[in-house]
């Protein structure tokens, strides 16, 4: 892995994990209250896709760890706490309040400080 690849792989890992969270939310939202516990083909699809995205993210993470110090790359695992609320806002229509935005700014600044 080259020095140029590491940020891209970390970003892929974080984005796949964040998309997986949105898919888990969609899975939960698609469950109903019927005799089969509300499981539908759509909820199974969302769950399968979420697990797939998490699995790919995990494989990328292991590859990054193979070629990096954990102390150097682990702070980037805080970034899903930024991407998931943003994705929730844009794709699920969920509201983001001032406290959420302030917290997200602190996370981004923290990751930036650790990365320099």
Long-range CB contacts for residues 38-47, cutoff 8 Å, separation at least 24? 47/23
Please write the tens of the pLDDT for every residue from 59-109: 999 999 998 999 989 999 999 999 999 999 999 999 999 999 999 999 999
- What tens digit of pLDDT does each residue of 2-43 get? 767 888 999 999 999 999 999 999 998 888 766 566 678 898
Domain containing 76 equals: 5-115
Give dist(CA 30, CA 60) in Å, integer. Answer: 29
Q: How many domains does the chain have?
A: 1
For the purposes of burial, counting CB atoms within 10 Å of the CB of 100, is it exposed (0-12), middle (13-18) or buried (19 or more)?
middle
The encoded tokens of residue 93 equal 């229509």
């Amino acid at each position: 892995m080259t020095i140029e690849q590491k940020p891209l792989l970390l970003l892929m890992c974080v984005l796949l994990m964040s998309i997986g969270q949105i898919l888990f939310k969609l899975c939960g939202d698609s469950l109903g209250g019927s005799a089969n516990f509300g499981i539908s083909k759509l909820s199974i699809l969302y769950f399968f896709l979420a697990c797939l995205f998490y699995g790919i993210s995990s494989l990328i993470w292991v590859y990054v760890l193979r070629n990096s110090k954990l102390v150097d790359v682990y702070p980037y695992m805080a970034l899903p706490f930024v991407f998931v609320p943003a994705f929730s806002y844009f794709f699920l229509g969920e509201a983001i309040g001032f406290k959420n935005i302030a917290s997200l700014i602190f996370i981004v600044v923290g990751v930036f400080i650790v990365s320099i």
